Amino acid sequence: MDMIKKLRRKFILVATVGVVIIVAGALGLINTISYMRMEAQVETILSYISQNGGKVPLYTSPKETSWFGETDWSQNTPDFSYQLRYFSILVDGEGYARDINIANIAAFTKEEAIQYARTTVAKGQPQGFFEKNKASYGYMITPQPNGDYLIVIMDCTRDVAAVRTFMRYSLWFGVGCIILYVVILAALCNLAIKPFIRNMENQKRFITNAGHELKTPIAIISANTEALELISGKSQWTENILKQVQRLSKLINDLIMLSKMDEQKQELVIEDVNVSELAASVAESFQMVAQEAGKTISTEIAPGVVVRSDSKRLYTLVNILMDNAVKYCDDGGAIAVSVTTAKKQKGALVAISNTYAEGANMDYSHFFERFYRGDESHNSQKAGYGIGLSMAEELAQLLKGKLGVAYKDGVITFTVRLNS
């Protein structure tokens, strides 16, 4: 069920990434609007104070408006002028303070007010924010007709704190929503993929049953063909029949093995396996086949390379890669088998390579997918069904190893990294 688990994880990951992007975008937009609204409100109040010479005028009764009309906020409450904490300084063109009003703030002395006023002027910005003793202040510099500058600095700590608190709570809310979404998605995902799992199990059962049912007529065809050869002698027709019977038998066995791959995890027999001897044995078994096809097999195997693994499964894995190399090696080409100790003397590295001139422009990222075949020449000229390499990948994962493929200078190389 590794494929189901991978599919489930990938589905949850992709869906979660999508939700994270949406939530992050929504919260970012909301918090940006909240901060900009706070900035605009502070700017409006600073402008109002600046327009009134650095002071907030006393309350005057607002004009009568209709139900849907808007009342000027500055005249909306008698206590408005007493709620603001600000000071203003009128500075001449040479930078000297001509008038200082600190009656509406307690956090600044005259000297501090002048100092911070100069600091705001030095920033070169007509308005902005700064902090003092963990308190936040907004300022605005307004040029006067006579060349003077009116600097208004207002305490906006509560406004900034409200925005920051909203940002903090919205962040926790977003994280909570994402976690809840992942939990719900994981629960629903299990229900959603149940029909898919059931279909896969039915397919595996069908392949296994059909494979066993097909073995009997194939065996009969093979036996009858061999009997025919005994009676009438060998011919091109009987040889072709036996060759296709062998090919069909191998396909059926591969399909059955592939369908039962997940069930074999509990059947592993872990023991010390001499990878050097195993690889040499596999290479030797293919020598005759390679020679008949005009291909050569060379080995470079370090002695005594041992890992903890399942010898039967590992032999099958190396055998699949060797069979693939012999099958797809160029005519008159060379096949090389090497076994070395992995880095830091831990594990083993098995590499099987062959000359393959047609592999320059192939997409090797899909090579281990089930039933994948690279191109037409890979399909038709060399008999294959896209099963062998997918079986090799499944076996490598089963043995906690890693199967890789690389192509360079007309040579394709399959590597198997095994842990010790």
Report the mean per-residue pLDDT for the chain. Answer: 82
CB 23 within 8 A of CB 200: no
Higher pLDDT pick, 191 / 54: 54
Q: What percent of the chain has a predicted confidence (pLDDT) above 90?
A: 27
pLDDT tens digits, residue range 26-44?
999 999 999 999 999 999 8
pLDDT for the residue 171: 94
On the question of pLDDT at 264 being above 60, the answer is: no
Higher pLDDT pick, 253 / 87: 87
pLDDT tens digits, residue range 186-222?
888 777 777 777 777 777 777 677 777 777 788 888 8
* Domains, in order of start, for the chain: 1-60+71-192 (no CATH), 193-260 (1.10.287.130), 268-418 (3.30.565.10)
Rounded Cα distance between 272 and 305, Å, is 10
pLDDT tens digits, residue range 278-314?
999 999 988 988 898 899 999 999 998 999 998 988 9
pLDDT for the residue 379: 46
Higher pLDDT pick, 174 / 206: 174
pLDDT for the residue 398: 85
pLDDT for the residue 377: 46
pTM: 0.54
Give per-residue burial for 115-137: e unless 16+ CB within 10 Å, then b.
Answer: ebbeebbeeeeebeeeeeeeebb
User: CA nearest 58: which of 36, 45, 75?
Assistant: 75
Rounded Cα distance between 213 and 290, Å, is 33
